[in-house]
Homo-oligomer: A and B are copies of this chain.
Amino acid sequence: MSVTINDVANEAGVSKSTVSKVLNHWTTISPATVEKVHAAIEKLHYTPNSRAVSFAKGATSNIVYLTNLEKDTAYRNPHMFDIMCGVHHTLSENNYSLMLVNTSEERYPGEKVSEVITSGSSDGLIIHGSAINKEIANLILDAGFPHIIIGHPSFESRLCWVDTNHALAGEYAAAHMIACGYTDVAFIGERKTDYISAQRQKGFMAGMLDRGFHIPAARIGNTDSSCQHAYSVTSDMLTQPVPPRAIVCENNTLALGVIQAVKDRQLSIPDDIAILTFDVYPYSSIIDPQLTIVDINVYDTGVQAGSMMIRKLQNPELLIQSYTTLPVIIQGESTRPLP
């Protein structure tokens, strides 16, 4: 019923080996033959059966995006999908397809990865940071399966990963504040155990120190990552004899609390207190005033991960462990150079 390589071979008057070689861009076929085969393909509207190709080649041209998918992930963590879109973009350009696999409903840790590896349904694995754990790490390392992890794993290993440099983003925040003329800057972050928050804080403090400004402990506020807690921590800070001139908020949710605290004390942004935060978030656009943001282009992180995967497939020995995407400053109304 559907057109096969044999039909094309007959139509073109060549063997199916030759058709196959044309399809796979072998350089040993004469231009005239290539021409004939293409004409036959056009005429018959032939498309190779991808199941047969996969089977014969022993490869799928498919990559799995492994992640932890809960019912409301789309709202709580849109970044995960933005990354996925970036990955998809690059793979698609390279004629790879992307299959979504969810680790959240596994019967045992590593179940899905085992399946992917042993069933041969995919040539490589891109693993979102939310899904990685030791079981999975061991499975892919033992099998030598091509993989890229998005986000630096929390444990040492020979895993391949790409990540954004959160400490660098913290430095960008410091540089921006100093450039505006703010030298007395506070930092409101998450719990001290939060990796990203700690990195950003570290980078921020180092960036300030490099430029000659030491941030004392009193200017650092750690929260339970709720808006409410950010509000109270900020309120406390603002009642100190000398309040800070500017505040760096580690994320948009904290920023909401910080802004409210500033407004409730009748202080104006940025004239009394300047504010900066990290990451464009779903509700960034409706925060009043529009915040200055140190943004990480996570779509680009996905694009990078996709490229790395393509490189791995060509050169499986490659050990990739790198910080890729650079932060970028999105200027809002919440910071302004001092006169």
B88 pairs with A82, CB closer than 8 A? no
Which B-chain residue is minimally distant from A98 (CB atoms)?
B100
A114–B47 alpha-carbon span in the complex (Å): 10
Q: Closest Cβ of chain B: how far from A33's Cβ, in Å?
A: 24
Question: Is A74 at the interface (CB under 8 A from chain B)?
Answer: yes
B73 pairs with A85, CB closer than 8 A? yes
Name the contact of A48 in the complex, choosing from B73, B74, B98, B119 (C-beta under 8 A): B119
Q: Closest Cβ of chain B: how far from A70's Cβ, in Å?
A: 8
Task: Annotate A62-84 by CB proximity to B: 1 below 8 A, 0 otherwise.
Answer: 10010001111111001111101
Question: Is A12 at the interface (CB under 8 A from chain B)?
Answer: no
B50 pairs with A119, CB closer than 8 A? yes
Chain B residues with Cβ under 8 A from A118's Cβ? 2, 45, 47
Given A69-B85, A283-B286, A55 and B47 contact (CB-CB distance below 8 Å): no
A280–B81 alpha-carbon span in the complex (Å): 18
Q: Closest Cβ of chain B: how far from A81's Cβ, in Å?
A: 4
Question: Is A333 at the interface (CB under 8 A from chain B)?
Answer: no
Q: Closest Cβ of chain B: how far from A280's Cβ, in Å?
A: 7
A73–B299 alpha-carbon span in the complex (Å): 10
B98 pairs with A282, CB closer than 8 A? no
Q: Closest Cβ of chain B: how far from A1's Cβ, in Å?
A: 11
Q: Closest Cβ of chain B: how far from A82's Cβ, in Å?
A: 4
Which B-chain residue is minimally distant from A86 (CB atoms)?
B71
Question: Is A332 at the interface (CB under 8 A from chain B)?
Answer: no
> Which among A72, A73, A100 has the greatest number of chain B C-beta atoms within 10 A?
A100
Chain B residues with Cβ under 8 A from A280's Cβ? 75
A74 pairs with B78, CB closer than 8 A? yes
Name the contact of A75 in the complex, choosing from B70, B78, B115 (C-beta under 8 A): B78
Question: Is A235 at the interface (CB under 8 A from chain B)?
Answer: no
Name the contact of A102 in the complex, choosing from B47, B71, B75, B92 (C-beta under 8 A): B92
Question: Is A289 at the interface (CB under 8 A from chain B)?
Answer: no
Question: Is A209 at the interface (CB under 8 A from chain B)?
Answer: no
Residue pairs across A and B with Cβ atoms less than 8 A apart, 26 shown, are: A47-B114, A47-B118, A47-B119, A50-B119, A50-B121, A51-B60, A54-B55, A69-B89, A72-B299, A73-B82, A74-B82, A74-B84, A75-B78, A75-B281, A75-B282, A78-B78, A84-B100, A85-B102, A88-B100, A89-B105, A97-B100, A97-B101, A98-B99, A99-B99, A282-B283, A283-B286
